[in-house]
Amino acid sequence: MSNMRVAMYYSNQDVRLEEMPVPEISSGEILLKVEASGICGSDVMEWYRIHRVPLVLGHEVAGTIVQVGEDVKQYKVGDRISVSHHVPCNACHYCMRGHQTVCNTLRQTNFDPGGFAEFVRLPAINVDRGIYPLPDLVSFEEATFIEPVACILRGQRLARIQTGQRVLVIGSGMAGLLHIHLARVSGASQVIATDISNYRLKTALQFGADVAIHAKEDIPARVREINNGYLADLVIVCTGAPSAILQALHSVERCGTVLFFAPTDKGVTIPLSINELFWRNEISLVSSYAGDFHDHMTALELISSKRIQVQGMITHRLGLAETGHGFQLVTKAQDSIKVIIEPQRVTTHHKGTKTQKVDKLNS
């Protein structure tokens, strides 16, 4: 193996199929053959990474170990695994307080190059604390959900979701659907979903929402109507649209919680009336980022036990050469939910916006 194919990111509109050397591993490292890599909403957050292009993105990764470095004893060639791209130091001020996801080391670690490639090198620190062996009954496609489900688990834990709560999820894309699904599994008594897409509203109903409301409606009024005069105990914001954030702040009940899960465009600020929104109402505003090791292990258990059903969220399976098309699907929020890149496949042709499965490359 000398060169490999990668999907090189220059912008959301410019993702090119290129070649680069297969990474060489050192002691303590692993070379992973990528079988599936999901496109995350954060991958299309152009403003966040445009100053660092070109890049090979992709962090929702699952594959097969093809090489192990010296001193790697726990894993072997042929093992099926999912991996974390960011891992913490487990020793700093933040880690010792249970907040590994804001650790400086976590923000600096990554694998080489990224999941939209045929192979990735896992540095020793990732091998030490960021590998999740896959049971045979968990497919590579399902394993790409481990990282996003871990993020949802952490967010809902920080928001202190409870059995019997009335939950409103604003934005029913991939993250929103997982929040809906997990809220239902966690025992929410009522789950309401919103979105601007009728396709996604229908999908939200399939994954646990009791009611789906178009975002152009008067959301607080509709929530009160549905909940006998009460607003939501927990509002989860899964879109960065300023209008959605304002909807959330006006849709949360007294002593309720708003979880800000999605980033906004660069520089967005929201004017807040402290007296009208917070004084006397005991409302909590919570944010979350990523998931820790235990969140990933819990996510794997939920997926392997089928307590959550993720397979039905996959709408597109694309070859590496079509990563740019996948980025367009995610960017434009078309009739898609989860778009998965399979680097060991090539694409013959499109049928509408869906891509047919084709033969695996020889390797």
One-character DSSP codes across 24-46? PP-TT-EEEEEEEEEPPGGGG-H
Where does the pLDDT of residue 112 fall: very low under 50, low under 70, confident under 90, or very high at 90 and above? very high
Compute and round to an integer the Cα radius of gyration of the chain.
21
Q: CATH number of the domain at 207, please.
A: 3.40.50.720
Range of the domain at 173: 160-287
- Kindly state whether residue 155 falls inside one of the protein's structural domains: no
Q: Which residues pair with 38 in a beta bridge?
A: 60, 340
- Kindly state whether residue 361 falls inside one of the protein's structural domains: no
Q: CATH number of the domain at 46, please.
A: 3.90.180.10
113 and 222 in a single domain? The answer is no
Instruction: Say what the pLDDT of residue 350 is.
Output: 44
- Kindly state whether residue 363 falls inside one of the protein's structural domains: no
- Kindly state whether residue 181 falls inside one of the protein's structural domains: yes
78 and 138 in a single domain? The answer is yes
88 and 59 in a single domain? The answer is yes
Where does the pLDDT of residue 130 fall: very low under 50, low under 70, confident under 90, or very high at 90 and above? very high
Helix H or strand E segment including 7? strand 3-11
AA letter at 248:
A
Where does the pLDDT of residue 362 fall: very low under 50, low under 70, confident under 90, or very high at 90 and above? very low
Is the Cβ–Cβ distance between 242 and 248 less than 8 Å? no
Q: How many domains does the chain have?
A: 2
109 and 211 in a single domain? The answer is no
118 and 9 in a single domain? The answer is yes
Q: Mind listing the pLDDT tens digit for each residue in 293-342? A: 999 999 999 999 999 999 999 999 999 999 999 999 999 877 899 999 99
- Kindly state whether residue 224 falls inside one of the protein's structural domains: yes
19 and 138 in a single domain? The answer is yes
CA distance 316 to 287: 30
Instruction: Say what the pLDDT of residue 1 is.
Output: 60
250 and 295 in a single domain? The answer is no
Which range, of 11-15, 133-137, 273-277, averages the lowest pLDDT?
Answer: 273-277
Write down the pTM of the prediction: 0.93
- Kindly state whether residue 152 falls inside one of the protein's structural domains: no
Q: Mind listing the pLDDT tens digit for each residue in 230-269? A: 999 999 999 999 999 999 999 999 999 999 999 999 999 9
In the numeric block, which tokens belong to residue 50?
Answer: 């445009």
13 and 87 in a single domain? The answer is yes
Of 242, 259, 287, which closes a domain?
A: 287
Of 256, 287, 318, which closes a domain?
A: 287
306 and 264 in a single domain? The answer is no
Q: Mind listing the pLDDT tens digit for each residue in 139-189? A: 999 999 999 999 999 999 999 999 999 999 999 999 999 999 999 999 999
Q: Mind listing the pLDDT tens digit for each residue in 176-195? A: 999 999 999 999 999 999 99
Residue 357 has pLDDT above 80, yes or no: no
CA distance 308 to 236: 19
178 and 275 in a single domain? The answer is yes
- Cα dihedral across residues 340, 140, 310, 43: positive or negative: negative
- Cα dihedral across residues 287, 289, 294, 295: positive or negative: positive
Is the Cβ–Cβ distance between 363 and 119 less than 8 Å? no
Residue 330: closest CA among 23, 39, 27? 39
Where does the pLDDT of residue 353 fall: very low under 50, low under 70, confident under 90, or very high at 90 and above? very low
- Between residues 204 and 273, which one has the greater pLDDT? 204
Q: Mind listing the pLDDT tens digit for each residue in 25-72? A: 999 999 999 999 999 999 999 999 999 999 999 999 999 999 999 999
Of 272, 287, 302, which closes a domain?
A: 287
- Kindly state whether residue 79 falls inside one of the protein's structural domains: yes
168 and 269 in a single domain? The answer is yes
Residue 361 has pLDDT above 80, yes or no: no
Q: Mind listing the pLDDT tens digit for each residue in 29-39? A: 999 999 999 99
Instruction: Say what the pLDDT of residue 334 is.
Output: 72
Nearby residues of 116 by Cβ (< 8 Å), 6 or more positions away: 6, 7, 9, 37, 56, 57, 58, 320, 323, 341, 343
Instruction: Say what the pLDDT of residue 347 is.
Output: 61
In the numeric block, which tokens belong to residue 265?
Answer: 């465009």
182 and 280 in a single domain? The answer is yes
- Kindly state whether residue 295 falls inside one of the protein's structural domains: yes
Q: Which residues pair with 39 in a beta bridge?
A: none
The rounded mean pLDDT for the chain is 93
